[in-house]
Structure 1
Amino acid sequence: MSASQAHSETGVPRWARTALESVLEQTAVTSTQVGDRFPLFADPGTGRWTTTGRGSWAGGFWAGLLWLRARYTGDPGDREAALRCTDRLAPWADADTATRGLILWYGTALADTPETAALRDRAAHACRAAYDGELGLVPWGSAFGGPRLLARVDGVPGMVPLLATVDERAAESHLRRHLELCLAKDTVRWSWRYERPGNWTPCDDPPPGWSRGPAWLLLAVADAVHRLGTSDLKDAVRHLAPTPAVPPADEAHPEGPLDTSTAAITAVALLKLGHTDRAVALLDDLVHTHLSANGRLLDGCYDLASGTATRHELIWGNFFLAYALAALTGLVGPHEA
């Protein structure tokens, strides 16, 4: 019997528990290395992390990983480290960016303190205030430069459950407008610029073949089905879920780098939707092909177009792999984050 076939008495693959332990142990190693900074991506050979002081759009995933570790170990010190990290995300609550969903949903959803609940509520109300009824969404924003009135697919995950805590109608509108734009029949684009009433222009960045595009949308759909009761959106699953394998970072370059973070995001979405067998198949591939012996998820692609970290360990890849394994093994519920 292979490792991928071995199951415990509970029906959970034994490798899932081992892999979760490995990833969360490596989280402690990363924490020692980065200190008070936020990890973004790590060199596949040396394991050295490129970090940022404020966390950028990915800071919430580091906080989320620390909360997962605290849940796993039960150590007050780990809990305190997670809380300190989340506190450092507070300035993003007032930043003009739709990535507040990624930062402040995933950075707080697994926490259980009054402070983190207050931060989440503050961020949710700020996002609601930024909701534009004419556009039917929270705009991409100006925090990272460029045009403010954009609809970008990576401004949807996290934003749906975050907005839903204060305004379910706005959350649903935000998702449906992005689905309408990104999955247009004549052209698939993951970013659209608002020109004038009723007129959206497709953008080429991210490129049409970007594999994280459908993964991000699938995750948002999974959250909406659970939190908003939008069961009609289940039809979108067949358009968004890939085959049970790690996809290339860009479908236009099938021989190019893979992106394991796409598969990890997809696995979480599939678990949320109840497609456990498909999720386990993806996790099996990630764990047995791309996870190092010391718990590093390799072969992630930060940005193929610019050549940035194309075969690296990515902090959000680690988070979604850990979260999927934690949900599969019962450490957390699939809809906690």
Structure 2
Amino acid sequence: MWKKAIEDAVQKTRANIERYGDLFPHVSDKGKYQLNPNTDWTDGFWSGMLWLCYEYTGDDAFRQAARRTVESFRQRLDNNVSLDHHDIGFLYSLSSKAQWIVEKDESARKLTLEAADALMKRWRPKSQLIQAWGPEGDPNNGGRIIIDCMMNLPLLYWAYEQTGNEKYRDVAVIHAEKSRRFLVRGDDSSYHTFYFDQETGDSLRGGTHQGYRDGSTWTRGQAWGIYGFALSYRYTGDKAYMETSKRLARYFLKRLPEDHVVYWDFDVPVNADTYRDSSASAITSAGLLELLSLLPADDGDRAYLEEGLNRSMKGLVEKYATTGEPNAEGLLNHGSYHIRGGLAPDDHVIWGDYYYLEALVRMDKGITGYWYERK
């Protein structure tokens, strides 16, 4: 089942190289991906898919296409195009850092370190956090963190390992600890966002941007936390991050619906018209693979997490993948972007495609993503 799914994903990605040219897919509208000239926060996922396909197949067409995206990311950084946010980790871990990991290209390493420096500009010393969105001092977003940033921190951890400069690690650890304390609730659910006073750093309140309501649990946010805290454990060895990832994972898996692919929020009323978010299940599946790779063999949660991983991936492959739809551009149906904002509530989303492919190739060939150096 996994092999067939991978071969279909590779075939679709190969067809999309010509279809997209020098542009980058974001979310789709009625099955057709909306493209941009490397100006969105999601553009690294396309680059990452190309590198995964190259590693899986050895086909140089994927390598050449991936290298072209890295050159585009070089120009984006040089010209400071749409980088006023924390998702620089998503952009450069899956493009230039991927190239460094795969090819040991020194120019790609240098570009990735420059991207880490760009992310460090989001650090706010007074409030001791990495600001998610907007310019410094922004009245709405100046003191806001969001759980998605847990997947951006690996860029800083990696930069510390490459340079020995402790500023990268220190900022990542402070932000991860703040996220653990304030974004993760006592019942193992999570806030999407949390607000702090910009001058004092005092905690203010939790909230949401894309979830059902401020106190609900947005499923994609929970997924970011599962994977992100596992990665913070890998880099730091702090067992609190391992336990946090496990807590978030147990909460997620206990609430899988009958077909094992989650709705867009765990607290939204469910009826026949309630949207799913296949991307949340794909991120969680990839995150569970990472978490399981770090757990001791005798860990008491291992069997439960393995069973949950298999249920999630089987649900995606059997009911949500576009296998058997040869003209489909995306790999997964029924992803959601921003339902409350009316943006792509039920379509392909490129990050869902990426994490689905990452999980598949890791299960089949042990190929990890590009969040850390391989040993």
Task: Map residues 154-303 of structure 1 onto 2, 5 A cutoff.
Answer: 154-157=148-151, 159-165=152-158, 166=160, 167-185=168-186, 188-195=190-197, 196-197=199-200, 198-207=202-211, 208-241=216-249, 242-243=252-253, 245-251=260-266, 252-255=268-271, 256-274=274-292, 275-292=305-322, 293=324, 294=326, 296-303=331-338
1:196-217 CA distance string (max 9 Å, x none): 4114333341333311111111
1:310 matched to 2:298? The reply is no
CA drift at 1:334 = 6.0
1:251-273 CA distance string (max 9 Å, x none): 21333110000001001110001
Contact 2:44 2:92 (C-alpha < 8 Å) held by counterparts:
yes
Partner Cα separation in structure 1 for residue 121 and residue 48 of structure 2: 25
Partner Cα separation in structure 2 for residue 257 and residue 314 of structure 1: 14
What amino acid is aligned across from residue 157 of structure 2 in structure 1? A
| Residue 118 of structure 2: aligned partner | 126
SS of match in other structure, 2:41: helix
Partner Cα separation in structure 1 for residue 26 and residue 369 of structure 2: 24
Q: Unaligned 5+ residue runs, structure 1?
A: 1-14
CA drift at 1:129 = 4.5
Quote the sequence identity (%).
22
Q: With the length of structure 1 as denominator, give the TM-score of the two structures.
A: 0.86
Partner Cα separation in structure 2 for residue 327 and residue 110 of structure 1: 15
Contact 1:86 1:108 (C-alpha < 8 Å) held by counterparts:
yes
1:203-262 CA distance string (max 9 Å, x none): 341333311111111111111111211222222234312125211012213331100000
Q: With the length of structure 2 as denominator, give the TM-score of the two structures.
A: 0.78
CA drift at 1:43 = 3.9
Contact 1:68 1:110 (C-alpha < 8 Å) held by counterparts:
no
| Residue 17 of structure 2: aligned partner | 31
Question: Pick from 138, 145, 155: which aligns with 1:151?
Answer: 145
Contact 2:42 2:90 (C-alpha < 8 Å) held by counterparts:
yes
Tell me how large the CA RMSD over aligned residues is: 2.4
What amino acid is aligned across from residue 261 of structure 1 in structure 2? S
SS of match in other structure, 2:95: coil
Q: Unaligned 5+ residue runs, structure 2?
A: 161-167, 293-304
| Paired positions, count | 320
